[in-house]
Every structure is written in structure tokens, then in C-alpha cells.
Amino acid sequence: MRLTLTQRLSLVFAVLLLVCCGTSAWMQVRSNQMHEQEVVQGLSRDLAQHIARDTVLMDTKGLMPDAVRNLFSQLMLVNPSVEVYLLDTEGKIVGNAAPEGRIHRDRVDLAPIQRLLRGDALPILGDDPRSVDARKVFSAAPLKVDGKPAGYLYVVLLGEDHDRLAERGATSAALNTALLSIALVALLCLIAGLTAFALITRPLRRLTETVSRFDIDGVPSTPPASAPVEKAASHDEIAILDATFRQMQARLSEQWRSLTRQDQERRELVANISHDLRTPLASLHGYLETLSMKDATLSPADRRRYLGIALDQSRKVGGLAQSLLELVRLEHGFVQPVLERFSLTDLVQDIFQKFELTAEARQVELKATFAPNVAAVCADLGLIERVLTNLFDNALRHTPQSGAIDISLVPQGRFVEITVSDSGPGIAAELREGLFLRPFNIGGARRDGGLGLRIVHRILQLHGREIRLVDVPGQGATFSFSLPVDEETANALAERSMNLNTPGKT
């Protein structure tokens, strides 16, 4: 049988309530019994003393049967609930008025008698001669003959007659009243408990319905807006659980949209790379086919020209393949930055030397603006060189003749700001969304197949930094990023970036 949480709580509560009510009733009855015993024993504590003082029950020859018989008869008439016994000095029963066969013990423990005679706290229970293991309140007094101890007078204050009368009363009105009161209290408590459980578990039932509607295999929907719950300040676990689930649902929706967007971007990237590869491959194939078919009729000059074009197209295909492989390695975590300190000014000079001949051929001027005392930075030298190489190559291909490419280094506290700008046409506003994540065109010409800036973005992301496109009046495309100057900042940024880009971490 499957029960809901509310039903299980109600069932457990009902069982516990019955146990508590039963225990309470038993303790109440037990308390009343002990109170009665204490009162009876307190009132009759000196009864045996009075009897022993006023009645002679023993002489030097032993028991006086007539005196004992008269005493027992008088006491039974006055108080039928008492039972009188005569004990010797060892506690053995030497005289009683019990019917034949009703005595089940021949000896009474003297320790409780000594406690009563010392005046210990009541009630004190002693052995009941008419039972094998029962203990009852009593009164006792020592008996002496010629000043010597001769035994004890032992009076059971609540005897068998009292027990029979008490049992008849307990099974009638008193018991029925007690059971009725317990049942009434249990019913009221049960109704109150069920109502409280229904109210308490209402938010949990709503959360259960929300979770049951959540389709893990479908497209996660954005959860409805709810009042924010501060986990540290709230003490309602269900409210915290509800807020946490909604955050998880929102996070899953966001990740789903991100995965969908990334998948679409990858599809676009594959399509654009396929398009970019088709042109140089077709050109390469055409010129090689021409060389193969017309080798005998081509002049040496034409042969060299065709071979040069084929080699140039081959280098383009190789460059695209290398860029694609590098992007895959960066995005799948195969490349991790190895941090070291190096001089940015020296690196910029190396970049200038690399692009100096190409810039002269295109009549483009390379400019560098360094602030005084530019500190060394802490980063991966090879990866940062790749960043500057991609930015310069991108700028050279889109800067017109007689244009200029400028790089500036400016200290910014614990960072150095690097800015690369050109005098080209710039990038239109409608093309800036997803600039570093998807391919784009400027005037029909693709900028490095969309891979160059994407590689730059990923490398800086591994360093915990980001590349930005900024608007500078009078300039074309201007890209800016910063690098830390101390190892502690660099390590913290790299570690945070690794955590953010590791699957399973947020």
C-alpha cells in the first residue's frame, strides 16, 4: 500500500498519539494509586504501634490464641481492608487470620519494616503474605516480652477485600470515564494534527506537482517568477527547497538555451568553414589539373605562375585547418595556460618584426604607444603572442593603403590595458552581437573565417580575461583587453576561469 507523505505523517502521528494517551492514562492511574497508598499509610502508620501497646498478644510461653483471635475479629469488623499478621524476630509468620490456603508466603522481608520504623519517606511497600510477588503498604510495630524483642505486629493496610472492591470500581464507571476522556482528547488532537499537517505540507504538495511536471527529456521551460528567498535568513526548509528547485530549473533552461545556441553556432561555423574551404580547394584543384593536362604546352613562366597560385591556395587551406584545430583544442580544454612573467614591450616589437614586410607591401604604418614604466605581465607568452598575431593579421587585411595600425599599452592598477586599433571600415552595429562567437562578414569579405577572433576570445577566457570591441572616434575596429601584472592575480583569474569552464561546475 502506497501512502502519501501527509498520510504517512498522519498515521505515525495517530499511533504516537495513542501511545502517549495510553501512557498518560497508565501514569495517571499509577500516580493515583501511589497517592492513595501514601495517604493510607500516612494515616495508619502508627496503627500497629497502638495495637501493640494496648493489646497483649504474646507472653513468655508464646502466642496468646484468644487475644490474637479477638484482635483479628475486632479489626476485621472495624476495617475489613486490613490484614494482621504476627512475625517472629526473623520475619517468619507465626500468626494470622487468613482463610485456609490463602497464605502464599511463610516469611516477610524485614527490610521494609526497618525502613518504616526509621521514619523513611512514604509510601513504603512490604511483602503481601497472600501473594507470591505482590507488595503493599503496611503498618508495623515491634513486640517485646519482658523487655526482649519477641517479633513484630505486621498490618497490611489494603488487603484482598480492598483489591476486589477497587477492581469492580475500575471496570465500571471510573474506567469508562477514563477511556471516554482519553478517546475524546485523542480525537481532538488527531483532528488538530491532521489539519496542521495539511497546512504544513501544502507548499510541499505544490512543489511535488511542479517537480512531477518537469520533463527532464524535454525542453526546460522558464519557471514562473516567485518571491526571492534568502537561504541564510529563511528558516522554512520547504520554501528554501522550492526556491532552490526554481533556481535549478532556471539554470537548466539557461544551459539548454546556451547549448542550443552553441549548437547553432557550431553548425554555422561548419557551414562557413566548408564554404571557405571550397573556394581555395576548387582553385587548387583547377590549377593542378591544368598543370597535369597542359604540362607539355605550358611555358616555364606560366608553369611557375600556376604553381605559385596553387601553393598560395594550399597555404590558405592549411591555415584554415590549423586555425580550426587550434580552436578545437582550446574549446575542449586540451590547452591550459602556463603562466610566466614577460615584457609586453618586447613582445610587441617581435610582432612588429613579424608583420613589418607585409605592412610595407600594403603601405600600412605600424604604430606603438607605450606609457612610461609599463610593468611586466603574468600570462602564457605563446598564447598572448597568438592573440596579438590574430589581431594584427585581422587589422592588416582590413586596413586600406596608407592606413595605420596602432597598439597602445597603458597601466591600469594591477593590470596593463592593451588596445589594438586600425583605420579600416570598422564593424557595423548589427554585426557586433556574437562577434567573438560566430563568423561574420564585412562588405562581403569574411574576417579570417570567423576563427581568428574566436581563438582570441577563448585564449583570453582561459586567462580569466575578455576581449572587447570599443568605439574610438576616427578609428576603425578597436579591440581592447587587459593582463595582470602579478602572479597572485593571474593564478586566481586562471583558476576561476577553469572552474567556470569545467563541466559540472558553475
Max Cα–Cα distance, the chain, nearest Å: 163
The per-residue pLDDT for 451 is 76
The per-residue pLDDT for 229 is 46
For the segment 316-320, the average pLDDT, to the nearest whole number, is 78
Contacts of 71 (CB under 8 A, 6+ apart): 51, 55, 57, 84
- pLDDT greater at residue 329 or residue 485: 485
Q: Is 291 left (phi over 0), alpha (psi -120 to 50) or beta?
A: alpha
Alpha-carbon span 180 to 186, nearest angstrom: 10
Residue 333 has pLDDT above 80, yes or no: no
For residue 6 the three cell numbers come to 501527509
Q: What are the strands, taking DSSP E only, across 88-147? A: 93-96, 125-127, 135-145
- % of the chain beyond a pLDDT of 90: 16
The string of pLDDT tens digits covering residues 277-291 is 777 788 888 888 888
For residue 444 the three cell numbers come to 562581403
Alpha-carbon span 455 to 476, nearest angstrom: 21
The per-residue pLDDT for 219 is 56
Domains in the chain: ranges and CATH: 5-174 (3.30.450.20), 237-329 (1.10.287.130), 337-500 (3.30.565.10)
- Name the pairing type of β-strands 58-59 and 62-63: antiparallel
pLDDT band per the 50, 70, 90 thresholds, residue 448: very low
- pLDDT greater at residue 485 or residue 65: 485
- pLDDT greater at residue 168 or residue 368: 368
The per-residue pLDDT for 494 is 75
Least confident of 81-90, 216-225, 305-314: 216-225
Alpha-carbon span 30 to 434, nearest angstrom: 82
Least confident of 70-84, 180-194, 302-316: 70-84
pLDDT band per the 50, 70, 90 thresholds, residue 417: very high
Residue 444 has pLDDT above 70, yes or no: no
Alpha-carbon span 352 to 448, nearest angstrom: 20
Residue type, 225: A
Residue type, 471: D
Residue 483 has pLDDT above 70, yes or no: yes
Q: What are the beta bridge partners of residue 341?
A: 378
- Name the pairing type of β-strands 148-156 and 135-145: antiparallel
- Name the pairing type of β-strands 365-370 and 340-342: unpaired
Evaluate the CA torsion angle 247, 333, 276, 437 in order and state its sign: positive
pLDDT band per the 50, 70, 90 thresholds, residue 66: low
Residue 47 has pLDDT above 50, yes or no: yes
The string of pLDDT tens digits covering residues 85-121 is 888 888 888 877 777 778 888 899 999 999 998 888 8
Q: What are the strands, taking DSSP E only, across 255-331? A: none
Residue 499 has pLDDT above 50, yes or no: yes
Closest CA to 21 of 179, 170, 174, 173: 179
The per-residue pLDDT for 299 is 83
Least confident of 159-163, 342-346, 409-413: 159-163
For the segment 260-272, the average pLDDT, to the nearest whole number, is 75
User: CB–CB of 449/269 below 8 Å?
Assistant: no
For the segment 46-65, the average pLDDT, to the nearest whole number, is 72
Residue 48 has pLDDT above 90, yes or no: no
The string of pLDDT tens digits covering residues 158-199 is 887 777 776 665 545 655 676 677 778 888 888 888 888 778
Alpha-carbon span 467 to 344, nearest angstrom: 17
Residue 84 has pLDDT above 50, yes or no: yes
Coil/strand/helix, residue 107? strand
Share the mean pLDDT of the chain. 79
- % of the chain beyond a pLDDT of 70: 82
For residue 111 the three cell numbers come to 527490610
